[in-house]
Structure 1
Amino acid sequence: MDDSGLDSVKFAEKEGVYILWHKSDYCTEHELFHMKGLYVGKGDVAKRLRQHWKTKNTAEEVLIYFTFLPCENRKSKYIEQLLLDIYDLPLNTAENIGTETLCAYFTQSEVD
């Protein structure tokens, strides 16, 4: 496995929108991991994730997870901008005017 862990990941679709997540806590009652959104991007997901691995400072988060929604470029642009307008994503520096926190809950199998 390479340093980023991405060499073993294969994508059925190449283009779309993706979100980088940090696993910030665990809820024992619901058996779910609380995830905090760090970054939203679009484009060739494998290429972009490898670039982020090299350039984004994620030292504090240690391990980064991602979700990917394959879709056409025009839809990716819209979804990316909508998320940037609503949420404050700490690793996005351009066009990130949002103020809300983006959170999700992942199951154990989703983080494995």
Structure 2
Amino acid sequence: MSCYSCCSCECLETPLDFDAAVAAETRFTWRLHDVCHSNIGWYTDKTISDQQLLEDWIAKDAFGAYVLWHKDDYCEIHSMFHMRALYVGKGQIGKRLLAHWKGKDFSAEMLVYWTFLEMPNRQAKYCEQLLLDTYRVPLNKAESTGELLLCAHFTQTEVD
């Protein structure tokens, strides 16, 4: 039974499509859970706050794949927050997040969470493309050809 009206996922369920592709096509050790639950941070839309410390939150040389999230709902049964992916990308994390904060309109979401996983450029390219091929991500207009929704479920500790 689904916990959320906006999608068919459940709090304790991990989709297997992404992980199956990574396992079949590569020898990479990371999986979707690692991308979705590593190095969690947040920022507010620029209309709410103009003092962003993104550069201080993330090592300046950190490079990898990242996801921007919106906290969509809360499941009281499992005490988990439903997170809906807004955007996936790769690159030098601090610079990319700062560029998104400056250039994208997040006024509807007001608060944007991110997760990132450090990895070499070649792996980050693969991860980003597989996410786009597997999932429909609303702010990735050009290459988001996937059909599934990318959702994760965060604990209270993860969103604090």
Q: Hey, what's the Cα distance between the residues in 1 that align with 2:53 and 2:78? A: 28
CA contact (8 A) 1:56 1:91 kept: no
Over aligned residues, Cα RMSD in angstroms? 1.7
CA contact (8 A) 2:58 2:93 kept: no
Flag the structure with higher helix content: 2
1:61 aligns with 2:61: no
Q: Hey, what's the Cα distance between the residues in 2 that align with 1:19 and 1:87? A: 12
Q: Hey, what's the Cα distance between the residues in 1 that align with 2:122 and 2:93? A: 15
Match of 1:84 among 125, 132, 145: 132
Flag the structure with higher strand content: 1
Deviation at 1:58, TM superposition (A): 1.3
1:98 aligns with 2:149: no
CA contact (8 A) 2:70 2:84 kept: yes
- Normalized against structure 1, the TM-score is what? 0.92
Percent pairwise identity: 54
Q: Flag the structure with larger Rg.
A: 2
- Runs of 4+ more than 2 Å apart: 1-5, 10-13
- How many residue pairs get matched? 112
**Runs of at least 5 residues in structure 2 that lack an aligned partner in the other structure:** 1-48
- Higher-RCO chain (CA-CA 8 Å, sequence separation at least 6): 1
